[in-house]
Amino acid sequence: MKAAQFSEYGGPEVIQVVEADKPTPMENQVLVEVHDSSINPFDTSIRAGYMKEMIPLELPVTLGGDIAGEVIEIGSDVSGFAVGDKVYGQANVVAGNSGAFAQFSATKAEQVAIMPSNLDYLESASLPLVGASALQALTQHINLQPGQKIFIHGGGGGIGTIAIQIAKNIGAHIATTATGEQIELVKKLGADEVIDYKSADFSEVLSDYDAAFDTVGGEEFTKTFNILKSGGVAVSMIAEVDEAKASERGISAFRQQTHVTTKVLDELRVLVEAGVVTPQVDKVFSLDDIQAAFKAKEEGTVSGKIVLKIKD
């Protein structure tokens, strides 16, 4: 089978599309014929070696996490799936799977679910990590309520575009940061206030918010504390929590670790089928053009997601 692998850490140029052995599913895995995948910043971190001390890998490995495809084989301990099921989920090597950017992927059954019936494979492949992240943050950590005010930092990105839609459905007032073509998109998705992050500082414009959801990281996360009411909640996808600052401001702050599970993917499917969440695919590349796909992600502004088409 064709697989996009890297055998040394580095930029997009280290990724090579090679002939690799088709994986064999373990007892707790399903073998998926991958139709489409999508790129996440985590894939860049793995490929660039940013996490090589924390997550040592034996190279070469097949890159990628998000998949949508058809189940073609089932491990002996797996229940709840059948050959022919259309599934979406995660197939990351770091979680003990065989990787997503390949024609076939062996992945733990607990990391996939039946994909939304109203989507094709391409749209479904854009959702697993970003959809699970947005859902987990807004419903579990923040427990967002109708009428509350939430600030979503990085609203035009993969997680941000889904988080805006979920927050809108809950009935919250949404402020967000975006730039360029993302601005019209986030308004269309439901943002009430949009701040162009290249020309204004959100912390000088917003105040009295109930919650902040940060997808940008660094010092930007701590800055969100300043716009919250006492008792507010701040969640970051990336940044460490400055506990002293959080307690000084009287807020709760968390760094989220997303768990892409069948349960959360099932919840996401319900929202997609109800028309609450619509996938946001900006560009599509073929597997052979994977280097260009990563360059587009890492060098430009993307509205939502970049998808890799693997099966024509």
Ligand X SMILES: NC(=O)c1ccc[n+]([C@@H]2O[C@H](COP(=O)([O-])OP(=O)(O)OC[C@H]3O[C@@H](n4cnc5c(N)ncnc54)[C@H](OP(=O)(O)O)[C@@H]3O)[C@@H](O)[C@H]2O)c1
| Minimum gap (Å) between residue 215 Cβ and ligand X | 4
Cβ partners under 8 Å of residue 2, min gap 6: 17, 18, 19, 20, 102, 103, 287, 310
216 binds ligand X per the rule CB under 6 A: yes
189 CB-near residues (< 8 Å, 6+ apart): 155, 161, 164, 165, 168, 280
Determine, following the binding rule CB under 6 A, whether residue 238 of this chain makes contact with ligand X. yes
Does 133 contact ligand X by CB under 6 A? yes
Measured from the CB atom, is 210 or 214 closer to ligand X?
214
CB 19 within 8 A of CB 67: no
By CB under 6 A, tell whether 221 contacts ligand X. Answer: no
Interface with ligand X, residue 89, by CB under 6 A: no
Instruction: Tell me: does residue 64 bind ligand X (CB under 6 A).
Output: no
Number of residues that make up the chain: 312
Contact 92, 281 (CB under 8 A): no
Closer to ligand X at the Cβ: 40 or 98? Answer: 40
**Residue among 82 and 200 whose Cβ is closer to ligand X:** 200
- Rg of the chain on CA atoms, in Å: 19
| Closest to ligand X by CB, 89 or 157 | 157
d(CA 124, CA 41): 18
Total chain residues near ligand X (CB under 6 A)? 27
How far is residue 257's CA from residue 8's CA, in Å, rounded to a whole number? Answer: 27
d(CA 175, CA 203): 11
Ramachandran area for residue 42 (φ above 0: left; ψ -120 to 50: alpha; else beta)? alpha
Euclidean distance between the first and the last CA atom of the chain, given in angstroms as a whole number: 14
Q: Taking a C-beta distance cutoff of 8 angstroms, is the pair 153, 209 a contact? A: no
Residue 25 touches ligand X, criterion: CB under 6 A: no
257 binds ligand X (CB under 6 A): yes
Nearer to ligand X, 249 or 305 (CB): 305
CB of 9 to ligand X, least distance (A): 17
42 binds ligand X, rule: CB under 6 A: yes
CA-wise closest residue to 255 among 224, 228, 234? 234
* Single residue of 103, 169, 252, 301 touching ligand X by CB under 6 A: 301
Q: Which of 69, 158, 232, 279 touches ligand X (CB under 6 A)?
A: 158
Element (H, E) at 48: helix 41-48
- Write down the residue that tokens 């859902």 correspond to: 135
Q: Can residue 129 be called a binding residue for ligand X (CB under 6 A)?
A: yes
Does 160 interact with ligand X (rule: CB under 6 A)?
yes
Q: Residue with CB nearest ligand X?
A: 157
Q: Give phi and psi for 308, each to the nearest 5.
A: -105, 120
Given candidates 61, 185, 237, 239, which one binds ligand X under the rule CB under 6 A?
A: 237
Residue with Cβ nearer ligand X (23 or 128): 128
For 138, the token pair is 């807004």
Least gap, CB of 273 to ligand X (angstroms): 23
CB 17 to ligand X: min, Å: 23
128 interacts with ligand X by CB under 6 A: no
Backbone conformation region of residue 229, classed left if phi is above 0, alpha if psi is from -120 to 50, else beta: beta
Could you say which of 103, 139, 169, 179 contacts ligand X (CB under 6 A)?
A: 179
Interface residues with ligand X (CB under 6 A) are 40-42, 129-130, 133, 153-154, 156-160, 177, 179, 197, 215-217, 220, 237-238, 256-258, 301-302
